[in-house]
């Protein structure tokens, strides 16, 4: 047979399985051992609570599905020079490979260079646990505030485009300060702007850090925060308020919006389902925070905390941090904040108590979003833990049954 001779082409007789086995063996041979790093702490978060206050629906996108933003643990490892924070999600983290932007079809890896593009992680760190010490305001667009008991000194924002996020935050803060100054003195000079820019830059340097050393491996993302920023290695005795929002990678230039509507790289919540925003279940309130998940070990508390806001009174939902060591916090239930009789510091379980609007004669917040049975169980749990009086419990129970 002429064709059998001298083709010059190698034969390909190996079966696919044999090739697979060879590849696997080669891989295992290439693996080298590495000493595990010491974990400073790990905070677990309930699985399946990636729905904010209970009413959020994922956007109409195939690349953003339930579980994608469901953080299940948050941990830290210290090493020379800084701390590696680590977040684990329920689903494998989606990579920007093969994605393009909506405007201009720019390849997403060009913008989101750190291997992820679908979420932000806010970490508000209270380093002194001194009530009233630090800031309580969250990053723009989150529509929450940090409880005064864990008011923060440092904020870390892990976002797909850290450079853009920092630049936008700077512009945003400068704009607000200019507005303030204009209101105070009627005009803003060039010198004023220079001073504001310098002060904002210093604030950003001291207060905010956007990591760009990031490692993604399936469900886990790790990011490095240097000691120069934190002032030392991460501690189990600090409080960490960790929030997950959906990332809006292209939202780079909408600075002209009103300051209170400015979103720092996060997807908003709007009624209806769209690929540009998180939707709402049923007729849920459209002013709820766009926080999809909130690291809070105790099931049910995320829903309660994120539901506790009042647009009419200008009150954001209040979220409290977690201290990995279990050190007690002095959390004031929200309803007492402007009263003369705040409760004393209490044990940790009390520290995570929900706001108690009922004590001010207003309706007790009701867990929403789950089935009636779930809601009844939740308020019973609150009663059993002494966080609701029997009277409050019965009142809420009646309301739930009546509304069912």
Partner 1 sequence: MKTIRTALMVGAAAMAVLAASQAEAQQVGEIRWFGSIYAKFLDGDRRFENALYNNAETTPGEAGGDQGQGIEFELMFNSQVSSQVEIGGRIKARFNQNFWSNFGGFGPQEEDERSAQYMKLRGAWARITPGYEWIDSATIGSNDWGMFDPWTVGKFRYIDRDNSSGLLFQGRAFDGSVRWDFARVTLSRLFQGPRFLTTADPNDSQYKLEANDAAWILQTRWAATDTLNLTGIAEYIRDKEIDRADENLLDGQDVQTRYDNTILALKGQYTGIDAVDIGGAVYYTNFNIDATECSLGLNDDCRFSPTPKAGVDDTSWKLDVGFNDLLVDDLTVELQFFHIGADFVSVTSARREQDVLLTTGHEGTWGWGRPDYNFGNRDNANSTLGLGYGGWNPETQQVVSMMADNDFTDFDEPMAETVIGWKGFTIAPSYLWGDWEFQGEYSYIDYDTNWQACGGATKDTCIYPRMEGLHSWGLGGDWRSPYAPYQDKTTEIWGLTANYFLDVGAGVDLEFRFKYIADEDDRVTNPALLVDAYDGFPAAVGAINPDWIPNIGLEGCVACDDRAADYYTYMVSAGYQLTGDLYVRVLFRRDEVDLIDGTIDVAPVGLGFEASNDFGYAEYLTGEHTKNRVGLEFSYFLSGVEFGGSVDWLWGDYAPVFLDFRDGQIVKLDTSLVDTVTTPLGNISVDSVDLEQYRLKAFMKVSF
H or E element, residue 220: strand 220-226
Q: What is the closest distance, in whole angstroms, from the C-beta atom of residue 73 to partner 1 in the complex?
A: 10
Of residues 256 and 402, the one with the C-beta less far from partner 1: 256
Other Cβ atoms less than 10 A from the Cβ of 306: the count is 30
Give CA separation, 320 vs 158, 307, 313, in Å.
Answer: 19, 13, 20
Give CA separation, 15 vs 11, 21, 24, 211, in Å.
Answer: 12, 10, 14, 46
- The answer to whether 244 and 66 have CB atoms below 8 angstroms apart is no
Among 42, 97, 132, 337, binds partner 1 (CB under 8 A): 97
Torsion angles phi and psi, residue 24, rounded to 5: -65, -45
Among 76, 158, 196, 239, binds partner 1 (CB under 8 A): 196
Minimal CA–CA distance to 118: which of 242, 220, 267?
267
Site for partner 1 in 269-328 (CB under 8 A): 269-275, 279-283, 286-287, 309, 311, 314-316
Q: Mind giving me the DSSP string for 225-249? A: EEHHHHSSS--TTSEEEEEEEEB-T
* Binding characters for partner 1, 19-48, by CB under 8 A (x = yes): xx--xx--xx--xxxx-x----------xx
Site for partner 1 in 348-367 (CB under 8 A): none
Among 25, 60, 391, 401, binds partner 1 (CB under 8 A): 60
Among 71, 75, 164, 239, binds partner 1 (CB under 8 A): 164
Of residues 186 and 390, the one with the C-beta less far from partner 1: 186
Q: What is the closest distance, in whole angstroms, from the C-beta atom of residue 294 to partner 1 in the complex?
A: 17
Stretch that binds partner 1, among 117-125, 130-138, 333-341, 343-351 (CB under 8 A): 130-138
Q: What is the closest distance, in whole angstroms, from the C-beta atom of residue 327 to partner 1 in the complex?
A: 25
Tell me: does residue 1 bind partner 1 (CB under 8 A). yes
Among 133, 185, 189, 202, binds partner 1 (CB under 8 A): 202
Stretch that binds partner 1, among 87-95, 292-300, 326-334, 351-359 (CB under 8 A): 87-95
Torsion angles phi and psi, residue 216, rounded to 5: -115, 130
By CB under 8 A, how many residues form the interface with partner 1? 116
Look up residue 378 and give its two tokens: 């939740």
* β partners of residue 145: 137, 318
Tell me: does residue 57 bind partner 1 (CB under 8 A). yes
Residue pointed to by tokens 């934190």? 230
Other Cβ atoms less than 10 A from the Cβ of 268: the count is 18
Site for partner 1 in 229-248 (CB under 8 A): none
How many Å apart are CA 352 and CA 337, to the nearest integer?
A: 15
Q: What is the closest distance, in whole angstroms, from the C-beta atom of residue 303 to partner 1 in the complex?
A: 14
* β partners of residue 334: none
Tell me: does residue 256 bind partner 1 (CB under 8 A). yes
Of residues 270 and 381, the one with the C-beta less far from partner 1: 270
Tell me: does residue 2 bind partner 1 (CB under 8 A). yes
Tell me: does residue 182 bind partner 1 (CB under 8 A). no
Mention every residue, 6+ apart, whose C-beta is less than 8 A from residue 106: 100
Among 198, 231, 327, 386, binds partner 1 (CB under 8 A): 198
Axis crossing angle, helix 372-384 with helix 390-403, rounded to the nearest 10 = 180
Q: What is the closest distance, in whole angstroms, from the C-beta atom of residue 347 to partner 1 in the complex?
A: 29
Of residues 290 and 388, the one with the C-beta less far from partner 1: 290
Of residues 39 and 385, the one with the C-beta less far from partner 1: 39
Look up residue 128 and give its two tokens: 């002194």
């Amino acid at each position: 047979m002429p064709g059998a001779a001298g083709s010059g082409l190698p034969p390909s007789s190996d079966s696919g399985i044999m090739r697979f086995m060879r590849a696997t063996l080669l891989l295992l041979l290439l693996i080298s051992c590495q000493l595990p790093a010491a974990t400073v702490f790990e905070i677990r978060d309930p699985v399946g609570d990636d729905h904010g206050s209970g009413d959020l629906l994922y956007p109409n996108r195939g690349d953003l599905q339930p579980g994608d933003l469901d953080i299940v643990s948050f941990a830290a490892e210290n090493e020379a020079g800084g701390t590696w924070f680590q977040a684990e999600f329920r689903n494998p983290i989606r990579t920007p490979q093969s994605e393009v932007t909506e405007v201009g079809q720019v390849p997403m890896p060009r913008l989101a260079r750190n291997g992820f593009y679908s979420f932000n992680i806010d970490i508000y760190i209270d380093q002194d646990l001194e009530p009233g010490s630090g800031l309580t305001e969250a990053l723009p667009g989150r529509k929450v505030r940090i409880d005064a008991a864990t008011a923060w000194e440092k904020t870390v924002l892990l976002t797909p485009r850290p450079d853009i996020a920092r630049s936008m935050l700077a512009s945003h803060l400068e704009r607000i300060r200019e507005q303030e100054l204009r209101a105070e003195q009627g005009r803003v000079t060039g010198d004023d702007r220079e001073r504001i820019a310098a002060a904002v830059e210093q604030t950003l340097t001291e207060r905010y850090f956007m990591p760009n050393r990031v490692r993604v491996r399936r469900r886990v993302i790790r990011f490095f925060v240097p000691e120069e920023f934190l002032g030392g290695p991460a501690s189990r005795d600090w409080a960490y308020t960790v929030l997950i929002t959906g990332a809006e990678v292209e939202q780079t230039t909408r600075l002209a919006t009103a300051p209170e509507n400015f979103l720092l790289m996060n997807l908003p919540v709007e009624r209806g389902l769209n690929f540009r925003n998180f939707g709402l279940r049923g007729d849920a309130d459209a002013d709820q925070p766009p926080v999809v998940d909130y690291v809070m070990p105790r099931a049910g508390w995320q829903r309660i905390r994120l539901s506790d806001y009042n647009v009419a009174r200008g009150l954001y939902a209040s979220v409290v941090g977690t201290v990995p060591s279990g050190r007690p916090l002095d959390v004031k239930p929200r309803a007492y904040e402007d009263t003369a009789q705040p409760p004393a510091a209490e044990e940790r379980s009390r520290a995570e108590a929900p706001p108690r609007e009922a004590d001010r004669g207003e309706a007790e917040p009701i867990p929403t979003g789950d089935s009636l049975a779930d809601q009844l169980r939740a308020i019973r749990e609150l009663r059993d833990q002494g966080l609701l009086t029997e009277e409050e419990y019965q009142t809420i129970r009646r309301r739930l049954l009546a509304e069912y």
